Copies of this chain bind each other. A is one copy, B any other.
C-alpha cells in the first residue's frame, strides 16, 4: 500500500459544502433561458437518466469495443434513425456540437490542406469561431444588416464565396447558423446550400438550436455536414453532440487508428481517432438522447413547430406594444429564441434601489426565471415548449411590470 494521505480531509465542512447541489426551484418556476428550453428532459429521458446514471453504464452492453456498435440497447439503429431524421447519410456522436464543428473543420483541413478560409454568418456562435481558431484557419464573415433585424442576406454568401475565389483560394468550408444564439433569426439553409453547390464548396449547417426543434432535411438543403446538440435542442441530459455528414466524407471523418506499439505491436484498428476511440457520451448522455428521440420526432412535425412559432409571435406582438420594448431580429419569428431591447427597464433601473437586478426580482415574483442578473437594457428568452397558459403568464408579466413602474 502506498503510504501517503490525501491532501484534503473528509470533514463535516467538506460534506456541507457539496451537500446542497439541488435545483428544486425548477418545479415552481418557468425557466425562459433560451439555452435551457430545448434541453428539458422528457419523462422517458428521466427514466433513462436514472437507469443509466452510473459512469460507464452503457459499456456493460459493449461487445465490439465501440459505443456506436452496441445493438442492445439499440444504438446502431438509433444512429441510423437520427441520420434518417436529419436526412443525411451518416451520423457520428460527439462530446457536444462545438466538438462536431471542430471535427468537421479538422476533417476538411486534412482533405484540402491548402485551403484556409471558412466563411460563416456574422451571427455565428463563439464556438464556431473557436473551431476555426483551433484548426488554424481564417474566418471570413458574411455581414448582417445590423440593428434592428441583424439579417443575413443569402446573396452576400454568393458574393463572399466569389470574392474569396477571386483572391485565389477555394473556401475550405461554408457555414450557416440555422438559427443564431443571439437574435434567434431563422435562415433558410436551402438558399445557402444551393449557392455552395453552384460554387462547389462544402456546406456545414450548424443546427445547435434547431435540430430537435424545427424540421430539417439535409439532402433538400444540400448540406454536406450538420452539427447538432442533444442537450441544447434534443431533450437530452448530455452533453452530447451529433455530426451528420455525406457518405463521401466517411473515410475523412471516421479515421481508424493506425498506431502500433513498438515492443508489444499492439494496435487498435477498430478505434476511431476522431473521437479518441469512443466519444464521451457513454451512459446518461446517449441514453437520454435515445429515450427522448420519439418525442423529438413528434415535436418537430410541422404542425407542432408552427404552434411553437405562434406562441413566440403571440408574446412578441404583445410586449412590443409596450413603449420602450423593441424586438431585435427578424419578424415574424420562426424559432422561439428571441432578443429584445428593454429601454423601459433600463430607465427604471436608473432609480430603482435594486438597480438592474429589479428585472430578475420582478419576473421571479411572477414565477419566471432565466434572466441574467443585473441586466436591464436587453433580454433574451425562449417560449419553446411552454404551455399556452405559461405563454400568457410570460406576456402578462411584461405588461404588469411595465404598468407597475409607469
Contacts and interface: CB of A to CB of B under 8 A. Distances in A.
Contacts of A273: 130, 133-134
Interface residues on A, range: 35 or more
A44 interface: yes
A113 to B, nearest CB: 14
Interface in A24-53: 24, 26, 31, 33, 35-36, 38-41, 44-53
A311 interface: no
Within the oligomer, what is the number of copies of this chain? Answer: 2
A157 to B, nearest CB: 13
Contacts of A336: none
Interface string A346-378: 000000000000000000000001101100000
A73 B21 contact: yes
Contacts of A193: none
Given A50-B49, A53-B41, A84-B7, A130 B237 contact: no
B239 A52 contact: no
A285 B10 CA distance: 22
A322 interface: no
27 contacts: A6-B215, A6-B216, A8-B84, A10-B297, A14-B297, A17-B81, A18-B44, A18-B78, A19-B44, A21-B73, A21-B287, A22-B51, A35-B55, A35-B59, A36-B54, A36-B55, A39-B54, A39-B56, A41-B53, A49-B284, A55-B230, A56-B232, A63-B372, A96-B276, A98-B277, A126-B266, A141-B262
Interface of A: 1-10, 14-15, 17-24, 26, 31, 33, 35-36, 38-41, 44-57, 59-60, 63, 73-74, 77-78, 81, 84-87, 95-96, 98-99, 102, 122, 126-127, 129-134, 139-141, 143, 186, 188, 214-217, 220, 230-232, 235-241, 257-259, 261-264, 266, 268, 271, 273, 276-277, 280-285, 287-288, 290-291, 293-294, 297-298, 300-302, 305-306, 309, 334, 369-370, 372-373
